[in-house]
Amino acid sequence: MGKVSHMVDLTDYLWILWLVFILVAITIELLSLEFTFLMISIGSLGGLAANLLGLDWWLQIVVAAGLSVLLLLTIRPFLLRALRKGGDPALSNIDALIGMTGRVMSTVTETGGLVKLANGETWTARLLPAHPNNDASFASGVEPGKPVTVHLIEGSTAVVISAERTQNNA
C-alpha cells in the first residue's frame, strides 16, 4: 500500500494573512494618528477582496499596494487638513514667551538677573550679548523697573533685550 500525500496549498489561507496585516496596520494607526496606516489597512482590504475573488497572490499584492498609494496621495492630505483645521492657532509654552515684554526685578546682566513677564511669571534672565538695544549704556546691566523683551528661552532662563531703546525710537 502506498502512502497518499496531501500537499496543503498555503495560498488557500492568504485571507488570514490579509486579516492579520489589516489588524496590525489599524493598531499602529491608533498609536500614530497620522492616517498613513489607516490608508494601508484600507488598501489591504482591497487585497483581501481580491483574494476572495480568487485572484492570484501577486495580483492581490498589486491591488493592495495600488489602492494604498492612491489613498495616501488623495484622501490622507484631505484628512490631515481637516484634522488640523480646528486646531488652536494660539502660541503655547515657550513659543508664547518669545517677544513678550517684562520688567526687570533684579538687575539683568549678561550673566544673570530676574524679570517679571507680562503674563505674571518671574524668570531668571540674562541679557543677549552684542544686541543693538543693549548698547554701552547697558554695560552694567538693565536696572530694576526697566522694560525688557524676551528674545529666546535657553532652558529655564529668558534671554532678554532692553525694550527701553526700542520704545524710545518708536
- Domains held by the chain: number: 2
Asked if residue 81 and residue 48 are part of one domain, the reply reads yes
Domain containing 133 equals 93-169
What is the reported pLDDT for 117? Answer: 92
Q: Which residues pair with 152 in a beta bridge?
A: 159
Q: Which residues pair with 150 in a beta bridge?
A: 160
What is the reported pLDDT for 54? Answer: 93
Orientation angle between helical segments 14-32 and 57-85, nearest 10 degrees:
20
What is the reported pLDDT for 87? Answer: 64
Q: Which residues of 128-160 are buried (b: 16+ CB within 10 A; e: fewer)?
A: beeeebbeeebeebbeeebbbbbbebeeeebbb
Query: Which of 26, 60, 85 is at the close of a domain?
Result: 85
What is the reported pLDDT for 170? Answer: 43
The C-alpha cell of 22 is what? 489589516
Q: Is residue 4 part of a domain?
A: no
CATH number of the domain bearing residue 154: 2.40.50.140
What is the reported pLDDT for 92? Answer: 64
Q: Is residue 69 part of a domain?
A: yes
In the chain (170 residues long), the average pLDDT of successive 10-residue segments reads 69 90 94 92 96 94 96 92 72 80 92 92 88 57 91 90 62
